[in-house]
Structure 1
Amino acid sequence: MMNKNQTHRTRPWPGFPTPKSLGTNFGDANCMEQLLVHCANAIETNDATLTQQILWVLNNIAPQDGDSNQRLTCAFLRALIARAARIGSCKVLAAMANSQANFTIHTHKFSVIELASFIDLTPWHRFGFTAANAAILEAVEGYSVVHIVDLSLTHCMQIPTLVDAIASRQDANVSPPLLKLTVAGTTEDIPPMLDLSYEELGFKLVNFARSRNIVLEFRVIPSSYTDGFANLIQQLRVQNLVYAESGEALVVNCHMMLHYIPEETLTLPSINLNPSSSGSTSSYAFDVASSSSSTTPSLRTMFLKALRGLDPTIVVLVDEDADLTSNNLVCRLRSAFNYLWIPYDTVDTFLPRGSKQRQWYEADVCWKIENVIAYEGFQRVERLEPKCRWVQRMRNANFRSVLFGEDAVSEVKAMLDEHAAGWGLKREDEDVVLTWKGHNVVFATAWIPA
């Protein structure tokens, strides 16, 4: 601790940005990002004094009820404090994190109705739903049985929109296809969270489909992203011959879930596969876990190759267009800061301050920021990759991209018209990308076996 004579210094703190380098506007996003970077460096070098000094500045310029830049910075501030407390670099910070309730993230467990209306607030998920549904409908045209494997962060909230689309396009003289829906029953608590079991959710989906005159069969396969959905792949392999003989379409819908599968920056020896958590574990997971070779493909790569082996009719991959895979904290912080300003900026356009939905929305973003900043190794599950890298992964797994047609683009544009003017759509090769004020947010890609 400093004594009274040390509280005011005539020279800047070591490594601390000077007023000249920061500029005079402490509310500027670039200034706040630079302060966060200096704070992260101080934590990593175990400089508790400098860490506390920068945190004091951040705490005064970034209130949790401020503007979008201040709320974003406050979330990173809390994440850095959580990191300092976790690695034990500063006892004062650990005490601060443990004693102040406002550093605790309270994520909401949604009812189905709450989650459906919550998703409708923004194109963040609706964009992927709309683009994917259009691609799926075109791919399964003429099939009497459509099997959908839904790997979705939003707990099947896309399925009612797909059922509606199938029912709306159905010819009165032709029977609608039988829908088989398979989901991976993951147990991990990743926002948004649902307050009911997958069995209860399946019952609701079956009833909804029936109300639209469509027969839906629902199945849950206990499986986890931690081992590359190994049990799900194994169960689908067992039934693969059935698909081929019956001539049913196999649709794999991946909506913001695949980036939780471990990739190359997570060193393989730290992966602790637990077969008991997913029933049985397929051979590809064991192969990866047992090898210490630096050339061994990641679980992410192995999953996509295993998926290709199922010969699906179509694979739709939708995810957030950012890179959060760096093992360097500062690089990861900069990348996250320059992407996650978007949800804070957009929330001001559709939710008033103090509303419960806004609290839920920002708590989910805070959870993501804390996971990216405060955790390492297997506990850091938010490992987003940009579109270009996913495109290369899919091509390496022997998939060929499919162009989104004009119908898909028109439907996405019509959906965006329901939201704030800042949202936009652009095409990149065969893919479509959701933008906010010109910045890439979410991409949608469609693939068939090459």
Structure 2
Amino acid sequence: MNKNQIQRMTTTRPWPAGFPTSKSLGNFGDTNCMEQLLVHCANAIESNDATLAQQILWVLNNIAPPDGDSNQRLTCAFLRALIARAVKSGTCKMLAAMGAAIHAQYYSCNHLAVDNHKFSVIDLASYVDLTPWHRFGFAAANAAVLEAVEGYSVIHIVDLSLTHCMQIPTLIDAISTRFESPPLSPRLKLTVAGTIEDIPPMLDLSYEELGSKLVNFARSRNISLDFTVIPSSHADGFNSLIEQIRMQHLVYPETSGEALVINCQMMLHHIPEDQTISSNNPYSFVESASDLRSLFLKSLRSLDPTIVILVDEDADLTSNNLVCRLKSAFNYLWIPYDTVDTFLPRGSKQRQWYEADICWKIENVIAHEGLQRVERLEPKSRWVQRMRNANFRGVNFGEEAVSEVKTMLDEHAAGWGLKKEEDDLVLTWKGHNAVFASAWLPA
């Protein structure tokens, strides 16, 4: 689109209510206005108003460069996601050309094609260490697990983790420190779900290669580790994984004497959800009989685990309404964009990889529907209700867990904080909830 086309549209089409039509583009640059523009653009796309959608997208493209400040980069990511949705829905062919131009502009600013980057183990470990986003859950979980498995000679860890077992070396270190001599060290069994979905961050080696590295690392710490991969997916609620563990307990009765640890780190929100939100209380919901999340948790309970750790992002991205989802995502995902400005320079590879993963999440939330939309975050309050409905009871994180998390936070930028909400721990950024950690025992 050229400037004359835009001028013709602005004279024939009124701006949405609330926009200062006579002001320059520079006055559109505050965060609230950028959010309003995104909302009105989403409404225009949903109502198939291609002319208005193009008009707003043109403005957004001018006020939200991909190399701007954190709010501009956040808005640019939503801009790309809205264009992807419009192209998918066939709102306007011209949007496809606009999308290609914005895509090219994005990469000219970032210098790297990072959308499908696969990390080496070392790079992924460095990526995880960038912020407390994942380390918070690792620290809280490790402390809770160590306390729960005291006295067991065999510890079976079922690891459902978004970061490909990056937590496990720290847990092995903690176990080897607590049980100093090999005769006293428990034997570890690690089971992971061998999913094939391309959900970032992605790893550049197979699960078998990863398992070999973990076994060798454990051996260097005088720990015996058995590594098992079970092909299983979030799409069916990890049903294959649950059934195989259940069969192991039936075939090998001696496994009933081992500690069974279910470690869920930012993975469960990928399980499809089916729920009805209460009209009187948005924090309450009615579970459907076919809700895979609830079925998964009830299956976990039937395994009688020693402890279940649930760590996830504290936001609500489950709405079927695009605008509601956009608002929730915009008012949550500013956090990672804001944090990255405190410790990574523009142009660094790590920053590009970090923000590419957030862009992937935004596009998944905005541009996709059905089973393709896997980023369906639920707030902590709803997960708490789910766990209680599945006959689990929350357990308080002890002083050791709190101390471990605080020590970890001291290694990162000012702005990160920790607070306790009943039994749970919550990671905050500038006072806003980011990630929660909870621990559960069979009731």
Q: Does residue 139 of structure 2 align to residue 130 of structure 1?
A: yes
**Does the CA-based 8 Å contact 2:275-2:288 persist in structure 1?**
no
Separation in 2, partners of 1:182, 1:38: 46
Any unmatched runs of 5+ in structure 2?
Answer: 108-113, 277-286
Mapping for residues 132-151 of structure 1, pairs under 5 Å: 132-151=141-160
Mapping for residues 8-407 of structure 1, pairs under 5 Å: 9=10, 13-15=14-16, 17-19=18-20, 25-98=27-100, 100-102=103-105, 106-172=115-181, 175-241=184-250, 242=252, 246-264=256-274, 295-407=288-400
SS in 2 for 1:19: coil
**Does the CA-based 8 Å contact 1:180-1:216 persist in structure 2?**
yes
Q: Residue 444 of structure 1 corresponds to which residue in structure 2?
A: 437
Q: Residue 288 of structure 1 corresponds to which residue in structure 2?
A: none
Percent of pairs with identical residues: 76
How many pairs does the alignment contain?
A: 423
Measured against aligned partners, the alpha-carbon deviations of 1:78-125 in whole angstroms (never above 9, x if no partner) come to 000000000001110123334643468623200001101111111000
Measured against aligned partners, the alpha-carbon deviations of 1:7-37 in whole angstroms (never above 9, x if no partner) come to 2756862525421899984221111101100
Amino acid at match of 1:314: I
SS in 2 for 1:443: strand
SS in 2 for 1:7: helix
Separation in 2, partners of 1:21, 1:161: 57
Could you say if the C-alpha distance between residues 439 and 120 of structure 1 is closer, same or farther in structure 2, counting changes exceeding 3 Å? Answer: same
* More moved, 242-251 vs 50-59: 242-251
Separation in 2, partners of 1:139, 1:101: 51
Could you say if the C-alpha distance between residues 341 and 295 of structure 1 is closer, same or farther in structure 2, counting changes exceeding 3 Å? Answer: closer
Could you say if the C-alpha distance between residues 8 and 371 of structure 1 is closer, same or farther in structure 2, counting changes exceeding 3 Å? Answer: closer
Could you say if the C-alpha distance between residues 8 and 177 of structure 1 is closer, same or farther in structure 2, counting changes exceeding 3 Å? Answer: closer
SS in 2 for 1:156: coil
Q: Post-superposition shift, 1:265?
A: 5.5
Could you say if the C-alpha distance between residues 172 and 22 of structure 1 is closer, same or farther in structure 2, counting changes exceeding 3 Å? Answer: farther
Could you say if the C-alpha distance between residues 419 and 6 of structure 1 is closer, same or farther in structure 2, counting changes exceeding 3 Å? Answer: closer
Separation in 2, partners of 1:265, 1:68: 34
SS in 2 for 1:318: strand
Measured against aligned partners, the alpha-carbon deviations of 1:334-389 in whole angstroms (never above 9, x if no partner) come to 00000000000000011100000000000000000000000011110100000000
Separation in 1, partners of 2:181, 2:261: 24
Separation in 2, partners of 1:114, 1:29: 33
Separation in 1, partners of 2:6, 2:420: 61
Could you say if the C-alpha distance between residues 328 and 174 of structure 1 is closer, same or farther in structure 2, counting changes exceeding 3 Å? Answer: same
Q: Residue 8 of structure 2 corresponds to which residue in structure 1?
A: 7
Any unmatched runs of 5+ in structure 1?
Answer: 267-293
Q: Post-superposition shift, 1:170?
A: 1.3
CA RMSD of the aligned region, Å?
2.2
- TM normalised by structure 2 equals 0.91
**Does the CA-based 8 Å contact 2:66-2:76 persist in structure 1?**
yes
Measured against aligned partners, the alpha-carbon deviations of 1:221-274 in whole angstroms (never above 9, x if no partner) come to 0000000001101101101233665510000000000000000159xxxxxxxx
Measured against aligned partners, the alpha-carbon deviations of 1:264-296 in whole angstroms (never above 9, x if no partner) come to 159xxxxxxxxxxxxxxxxxxxxxxxxxxx942
Runs (4+) of structure 1 exceeding 6 A deviation are 1-6, 20-24
Q: Post-superposition shift, 1:172?
A: 3.6
Could you say if the C-alpha distance between residues 84 and 410 of structure 1 is closer, same or farther in structure 2, counting changes exceeding 3 Å? Answer: same
- TM normalised by structure 1 equals 0.90
Could you say if the C-alpha distance between residues 108 and 295 of structure 1 is closer, same or farther in structure 2, counting changes exceeding 3 Å? Answer: closer
Q: Residue 271 of structure 1 corresponds to which residue in structure 2?
A: none
Could you say if the C-alpha distance between residues 191 and 102 of structure 1 is closer, same or farther in structure 2, counting changes exceeding 3 Å? Answer: farther
Amino acid at match of 2:409: L
SS in 2 for 1:239: helix
Separation in 1, partners of 2:7, 2:428: 49
